[in-house]
Chain A
Amino acid sequence: MSEGDEVLDQAQAWSDAGLGVALATVTSTWGSALRPAGSQLAVNDQGAFAGSVSGGCVEAAVVLEALETIRDGKPRRLKYGVSDEKAWEVGMACGGTIAIYVEKVE
């Protein structure tokens, strides 16, 4: 079983257990990025997560956005890079930029 399947299985298991779930997916990368487009992170309404969208640089920030999506049901489009003004907190240490799409499982 591939890593992508584990994320889907976890999303399904949380959803079956009655938890709110969001999926965050890398849609584009520019420059160096550890995880390619298609990499996914499943997040539940307790803040637990499975999978990855980077080498660990932005997961914490994506989880917070995913919690918002679980709350309001609205998809979100995120972008992280070193040029970001918040780079000091949630930048890409490797110097790349990534775009992420967050959607609720419902």
Chain B
Amino acid sequence: MRRELLAGLRADRAAKRPVVVATDLAGGEVRLLHPFEAGEPAGALLRAARGAAERDRSEVAEVEGREWFLRVFNPPVRVVIVGAVHVAQALGPMCRLCGFDVHVVDPRRSFATAERFPGQALSTEWPDEALARLHPDRRTAVVTMTHDPKIDDPGLVAALRSPAFYVGALGSKKTQAARRERLRRQGIADAELDRIHGPVGLALGAVSPGEIAVSILAQLVGRLRRPEGAPAP
């Protein structure tokens, strides 16, 4: 791989631009492809790169008689945390260790402070405004944590109207039942309400903020990697 190509790849990563490194395993040729951008030279290799990027899976592909390895570099998974609360202080850094891009949103300025969230992207917008800006896609997770319907509900409604792969809401079964009732009255269908993981997280008996964050992160990774909920092989 040429040094210039490595620099270009790192620039694309920094710009959060999907990119595929195609390597001819026999000849050693390396190409940088942008599978979703207009203006890329069309062809069978670009189509193969697009398929791999859509599956988020690096793979070997036979294209026009040549054996290529397609290394997919998708932009990071995003996690939007609504509620700059204690559990969020643990969940944010843990998500970042997994390589996820984290956004913490809380209109309460005393919660969303840089002192409480060092190095964290923070916003004091209302969750519906923040989500309109962040535009959740299939590689975005949204977790609400304030316990305050005034703040959580607009975030959940925005999340449910997006293709976000994971939607979670902190709160007990009782809280979740009341939440479903409120959102149903706002016109959200049962099938949509079923997308909410509430109580959020795997039932680990987690107690401390760090442990609760583990249960949420574990569930979130499960939805990311096994979207159909298939059992482990």
Contacts and interface: CB of A to CB of B under 8 A. Distances in A.
Contacts of B6: 8, 11-12, 15, 105
A37 B57 contact: yes
A103 B23 contact: yes
Contacts of A5: 10, 13, 99
Interface residues of B, number: 23
A103 B58 CA distance: 17
A3 interface: yes
A2 B76 contact: yes
Contacts, number: 60
A95 to B, nearest CB: 13
Interface residues of A, number: 24
B205 to A, nearest CB: 28
B58 A38 contact: yes
A103 B28 contact: yes
A36 B73 CA distance: 13
30 contacts: A1-B96, A2-B76, A2-B99, A3-B99, A4-B99, A5-B13, A8-B10, A8-B13, A9-B10, A11-B6, A12-B3, A12-B7, A15-B3, A15-B6, A25-B71, A36-B57, A37-B57, A38-B58, A38-B71, A77-B25, A103-B1, A103-B23, A103-B28, A103-B30, A105-B1, A105-B2, A105-B3, A105-B6, A106-B1, A106-B3
A28 B60 CA distance: 7
- Counting from the closest, the 8 A-B pairs by CB-CB distance are A2-B99, A38-B58, A37-B58, A27-B69, A75-B28, A38-B71, A105-B1, A103-B1
Nearest to A6: B99
A9 B13 CA distance: 11
A1 B59 CA distance: 22
A8 B73 CA distance: 11
A28 B62 CA distance: 13
A77 to B, nearest CB: 7
Interface of B: 1-3, 6-7, 9-10, 13, 23, 25, 28, 30, 57-60, 69, 71-73, 76, 96, 99
A47 B99 CA distance: 26
B99 A101 contact: no
Interface in A24-75: 25, 27-28, 36-38, 75
Contacts of B28: 75, 103
Contact of B9 (A2, A8, A15, A36): A8
A23 B30 CA distance: 13
A75 to B, nearest CB: 5
